[in-house]
Amino acid sequence: MVRPVLLVVAHGSRDPRHAATVHALTQRVRAARPSLRVATAYLDFNAPSVPQVIDRLAAEGVREVVALPLLLTRAFHAKADIPAVLREATAGHPRLSVRQTEVLGPSPLLTAALERRLYEAGVRPGDRPSTGIVLASAGSTDPEAMAVIADIARAWRHTGWCAVRPAFASASLPRTEDAVRQLRAEGVDRVVVAPYVIAPGFLPDRIARGAQDAGADVLAAVLGDAPELARLLLRRYDESCVVRRFATLSA
């Protein structure tokens, strides 16, 4: 049986580090499952675009594609942008079936990736009782996305950190620097900023500046090509394939 192609749909950025990080992540996915064909497309700023990749796959005779949004929360891009782009791109290819997976978050694998980045930055398990975490995401005006970030922070707090507070680089408050200062004011000994973003770019840089300006003790790296993230991409792909098979058997 020919497996559907996995199409990773990234947002894109003028910052070259963004595409380089997406490439590193998809390379890790390919290494984990060499038999799976993995393609990458971008919504904006980078090439190839989603229509370009869809056209190429259709010309090659591909019949099934699983489109995976490289997004951590279900907000506007996942709910509107990507479905619209996929509909438009596939309109001229009636023999090509494209289905969109769920976004990556929330997932215990993302929390594990955050923990990995903290460990790499020098934070150890024994530091938990005296360490407060600022969970810094890009931000959104979507209430569902905001609620998910708050839920992740609450759940992560219960793993032993003295505090975990959400912060946002745009659209919502508090900003990273405000959350850092609040934890300081509450007497937290050590404050660590954990970026809940996949790739470097404008908003992650804003998170980093906020951490620096407020005097955070540690700034972890973005999630990037963490092994846990690669595993999560494959999990979302497999879940989509299972749903597709079940729907076919039930038809």
pLDDT at 246 over 80: no
pLDDT digits (tens, 9 = 90+) for 25-57: 999 999 999 999 999 999 999 999 999 999 999
What distance in Å separates the CA atoms of residue 100 and residue 83, rounded to the nearest whole number? 8
Asked whether residue 116 is assigned to any structural domain, the reply reads no
pLDDT at 251 over 70: no
Asked whether residue 96 is assigned to any structural domain, the reply reads yes
pLDDT at 245 over 80: no
Asked whether residue 27 is assigned to any structural domain, the reply reads yes
The sheet carrying 64-69 orders its strands as 38-42, 5-10, 64-69, 97-100
Domain that holds residue 27: 5-104+226-250
Asked whether residue 109 is assigned to any structural domain, the reply reads no
Asked whether residue 115 is assigned to any structural domain, the reply reads no
Asked whether residue 110 is assigned to any structural domain, the reply reads no
Q: Say what the pLDDT of residue 20 is.
A: 98
Asked whether residue 114 is assigned to any structural domain, the reply reads no
Predicted confidence band of residue 192 (pLDDT cuts 50, 70, 90): very high
Same domain, 169 and 210: yes
Average pLDDT over the chain, rounded to an integer: 95
Residues 6+ away with beta carbon under 8 Å from 109: 228, 229, 231, 232, 235
Residue 67 phi/psi, 5-degree rounding, is -95, 120
Q: Say what the pLDDT of residue 2 is.
A: 83
Asked whether residue 113 is assigned to any structural domain, the reply reads no
pLDDT cut 70: percent of the chain above it: 96
Total tally of structural domains belonging to the chain: 2
The CATH code of the domain that includes 189 is 3.40.50.1400
pLDDT at 1 over 90: no
Same domain, 84 and 160: no
Q: Say what the pLDDT of residue 249 is.
A: 40
pLDDT at 151 over 70: yes
pLDDT at 243 over 90: no
Q: Say what the pLDDT of residue 244 is.
A: 66
Same domain, 82 and 154: no
Same domain, 42 and 81: yes
R_g of the chain computed on alpha carbons: 19
